[in-house]
């Protein structure tokens, strides 16, 4: 039982990272129906920005997270304006291929400037362990869980209560009707990219702290898993991405411990296949017919 | 108030609107009737800035709308209730109404207008916390109208408000339209239900395949033999 609870904590920590990244996938998909395959690389950029902020600017962890979030927000907005906006009326496959192109561009630009190798993320936290009821929780895990919880509450507040959040939901439902309300759709899309990318940026720094290493290709697999998490929870549905991320993180961790760490990745893809077969709209997704 | 001159709209190769002139004076109810596909919605969408005119001008209170974005057109005082309601599903009735006032900053005024909308449509107040998608067709129409009124428009564009409603609801909707008009809002009403539309309109235009084929006062057109044959079933 203690082992199970311990693995649950580990799984939730990993799942928090997936959830933060999955939110960006789901929000962007919700508003422009684009699967932004470059999103995992925004997370990678966030990790590097955090790294540089700590090593070069000598700031502490929290300022580093903020700097990474802001930089990624700007990056996300710029990518949308340059790469995706001109394709707003193009076929989905065109945008998808463009997103893959942006993803590769980010990876190789980062390699060019920072090298292809793995870098060690600076030690910014004392690695204390908190022992509690037989469980041991590291300070990095507490940081991840706490930061994720805070960011999710903040996101819920923005989406539910603020004007920009209501505009985001309105544009997701019906962009033309939103225009008739006087909502600036382009600006709303920019805000969505900014918020989604900022969350990924925070996740990047957190993962640097957690695993101690970062690399230009670090976003590929977690990006894919976060995407699966978003689909699992119901793409376009914000609570779905939160739930999906945590679920995938816990599932992967449990399988790794109780079964075999060799197949823990495979399990994530099996989950994707199962959900697509059984409930393609995702666990929390509504079975709505696509509008024509 | 609204003046359209030589409006042309093209969707790729489809020439949907072919040189239309239309005017709405302050204080009027003007109706635009025509069969399905005649181009009625296209004209309203062009006024609201959702589609661009390929030729011609649209001006509102002396200002050209051709280069103005949809959100600024709405700011200038033109609200549209689109065909098919287009309420925001997944959001509550209240949130839908609040979105109608998205451009406004006067909290006190918004609160008053919300009260006025609730008085006009008491069902919306009862359903205010409910997902808008759960409303019936008639209630959704009322929500779409209430939402447009929350912007305090000078000119209200209504696109087939009676579509798909039972006759008793159609009468109710039309009496509400007359009421909104009496309280000072100018109305441009698009309808396929020509009988009802002509009965409330000061002036009317008949649209056929992208062209205005007739215009006159509501009474004149209702009495015209051609209109009776084509649109009033006899
Ligand atoms: N987005 C569009 N793309 C292509 N053709 C369109 C589009 N919208 C309308 N049309 C065409 O323009 C014509 C007028 O349509 P519309 O304005 O919707 O007419 P109405 O509202 O009178 O039914 C129709 O032939 C319709 O098929
Ligand atoms: Mg129409």
Q: Which of B50, B74, B95 sits opposite A182 (nearest CB)?
A: B74
pLDDT at B202 over 70: yes
What is the share, in percent, of chain A residues with pLDDT greater than 90? 86
- Predicted confidence at residue A105, as pLDDT, reads 97
For the stretch A139-162, pLDDT in tens is 999 999 999 999 999 999 999 999
pLDDT digits (tens, 9 = 90+) for A168-189: 999 999 999 999 999 999 999 9
Is the Cβ pair B50, A179 closer than 8 Å?
A: yes
Contact A167 B91 (CB under 8 A): no
In angstroms, what is the span from residue B37 Cα to ligand 1's centroid? 6
Q: How far is A176 from chain B (nearest CA, A)?
A: 7
Q: Domains of chain B (ranges plus CATH)?
A: 2-231 (3.40.50.300)
Q: How far is A167 from chain B (nearest CA, A)?
A: 8
List Cβ<8 Å contacts ≥24 apart for B12-19: B15/B210, B16/B42, B16/B210, B17/B42, B17/B43, B17/B46, B17/B210, B18/B209, B18/B210, B18/B211, B19/B55, B19/B56, B19/B211
State how far the Cα of A98 lies from the Cα of A77, in Å rounded to an integer.
Answer: 15
pLDDT at A287: 64
For residue A289, is pLDDT > 60?
no
Kindly report the average pLDDT of chain A as a whole number: 93
Tens of pLDDT, residue by residue over A233-275, are 999 999 999 999 999 999 999 999 898 888 888 999 999 999 9
- A178 CB neighbours in chain B (<8 A) are 88, 99
Q: Reply yes or no on whether the pLDDT at B91 is more than 60.
A: yes
Beta-carbon separation of A181 and B151 below 8 A: yes
Q: What is the pLDDT of residue B23?
A: 97
User: In angstroms, what is the span from residue B166 Cα to ligand 1's centroid?
Assistant: 25
**Between chains, do B99 and A176 touch, taking CB under 8 Å as contact?**
no
Q: Measured between beta carbons, which residues in chain B are less than 8 angstroms from residue A182?
A: 70-71, 74-75, 102-103, 151
3-state helix, strand, coil in chain B (%, to 5): 40, 30, 30
pLDDT tens-digit readout, B130-140: 999 999 999 99
C-alpha R_g of chain A: 19
Distance of CA B220 from the midpoint of ligand 2 (Å): 24
pLDDT at A291 over 80: no
pLDDT at B234: 57
CA A135 – ligand 1 centroid, Å:
65
Residue A290 confidence (pLDDT) above 90:
no
Q: Ligand 1 test: best mutation among B11, B15, B31, B46, most atoms within 8 Å of CB?
A: B11
């Amino acid at each position: 039982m203690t082992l199970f609870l311990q693995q649950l904590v580990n799984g939730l920590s990993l799942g928090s990272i997936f959830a933060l990244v999955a939110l960006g996938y789901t929000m962007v998909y919700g508003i422009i129906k684009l699967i932004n395959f470059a999103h995992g690389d925004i997370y990678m950029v966030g990790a590097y920005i955090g790294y540089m902020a700590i090593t070069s600017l000598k700031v502490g962890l929290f300022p580093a997270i903020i700097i990474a979030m802001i930089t990624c927000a700007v990056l996300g907005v710029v990518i949308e304006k340059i790469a995706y906006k001109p394709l707003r009326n193009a076929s989905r496959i065109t945008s998808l291929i463009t997103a893959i192109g942006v993803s590769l561009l980010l990876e190789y630009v980062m390699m060019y400037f920072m090298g292809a190798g793995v870098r060690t993320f600076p030690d910014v936290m004392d690695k204390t362990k908190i022992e509690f009821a037989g469980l041991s929780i590291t300070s990095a895990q507490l940081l991840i869980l706490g930061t994720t919880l805070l960011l999710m509450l903040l996101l819920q507040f923005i989406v539910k209560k603020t004007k920009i959040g209501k505009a985001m939901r309105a544009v997701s439902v019906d962009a033309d009707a939103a225009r008739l309300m006087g909502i600036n759709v382009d600006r709303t899309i920019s805000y969505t990219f900014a918020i989604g990318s900022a969350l990924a940026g925070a996740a990047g720094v957190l993962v640097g702290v957690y695993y101690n290493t970062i690399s230009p290709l670090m976003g590929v697999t977690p990006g894919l898993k976060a995407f699966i998490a978003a689909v699992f929870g119901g793409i376009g549905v914000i609570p779905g991405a939160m739930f999906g991320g945590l679920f995938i993180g816990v599932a992967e961790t449990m399988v790794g411990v109780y079964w075999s760490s060799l197949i823990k990745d495979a399990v994530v893809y099996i989950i994707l296949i199962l959900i697509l077969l059984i409930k393609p709209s995702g666990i929390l997704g509504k079975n709505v017919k696509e509008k024509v | 108030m609204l003046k359209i001159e030589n409006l042309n709209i093209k969707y790729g190769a489809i020439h949907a609107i072919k040189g239309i002139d239309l005017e709405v004076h302050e204080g009027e109810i003007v109706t635009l009737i025509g069969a399905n596909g005649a181009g009625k919605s296209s004209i309203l969408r062009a006024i609201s800035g959702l589609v661009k005119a390929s030729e011609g001008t649209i001006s509102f209170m002396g200002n050209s709308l051709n280069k103005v974005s949809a959100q600024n057109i709405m700011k200038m005082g033109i609200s549209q209730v689109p065909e098919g309601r287009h309420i925001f599903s997944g959001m509550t009735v209240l949130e839908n109404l609040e979105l109608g006032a998205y451009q406004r900053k006067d909290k006190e005024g918004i609160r008053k207008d919300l009260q006025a909308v609730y008085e006009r449509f008491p069902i919306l107040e009862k359903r205010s916390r409910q997902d808008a998608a759960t409303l019936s067709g008639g209630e959704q129409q009322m929500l779409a109208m209430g939402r447009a009124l929350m912007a305090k428009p000078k000119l209200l564009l209504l696109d087939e408000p009676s579509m798909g409603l039972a006759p008793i609801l159609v009468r109710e909707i039309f009496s509400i339209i007359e009421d909104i008009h009496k309280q000072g809002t100018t109305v441009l009403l698009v309808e396929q239900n020509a009988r009802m539309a002509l009965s409330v309109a000061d002036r009317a235009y008949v649209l056929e395949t992208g062209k205005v084929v007739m215009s006159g006062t509501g009474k004149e057109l209702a009495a015209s033999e051609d209109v009776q044959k084509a649109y009033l079933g006899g």
